[in-house]
Amino acid sequence: MNIYLKKLIKEKFIKPLKVLDLGAEDFLDVDHLRQLNWICEGVDINNGVDLEKYFLSSNYPFDLVFSNYVIHKIKNREQFAKIIFDNLKKDGWFFIHTFDKTDENSQSVLTEGYLYEILSNQGFRNIKTKVFSFYDNQENHKRWHKILEATGQK
């Protein structure tokens, strides 16, 4: 599970609630959160959800909506922010991890300012962004990345 997502959950939530993973791919984070008694939904092109189009879960609203390494691949990032916003309940939290524009190993065009603007224009509050270096120790990766993280509330 994403260790930074795990940290946010420990800081912001007292008990397991309801979570949506946008771009779940292999569903590892969803599976891990289910083991922690969260009510989880994960969506991805692999289970028929095209995140280039608007998506509202039939299970909304969620206490937490997160997305790991997806938004830099999305063409309409404003719509993606709307998907996050519309699927969250009032005071719910979002968590985004993606690659920063300065990451040599990705094609990302995202910067802290650009992502902050997209999120604030959508109406999110308490937005925090940061860029940091992270060593990806997964098999066949073994390299440093510049990660862009954003968190905030509806």
CATH number at residue 117: 3.40.50.150
Comparing 17 with 1, which gets the higher pLDDT?
Answer: 17
- Tell me the residue range of the domain where 41 lies: 3-9+17-153
> Who wins on pLDDT, 151 or 105?
151
How many domains does the chain divide into?
1
- In angstroms, what CA-CA distances link 58 with 20, 44, 86? 11, 15, 12
* pLDDT above 90 coverage of the chain, percent: 84
pTM reported for the whole predicted model:
0.94
Whether 139 and 100 have beta carbons less than 8 Å apart is answered as: no
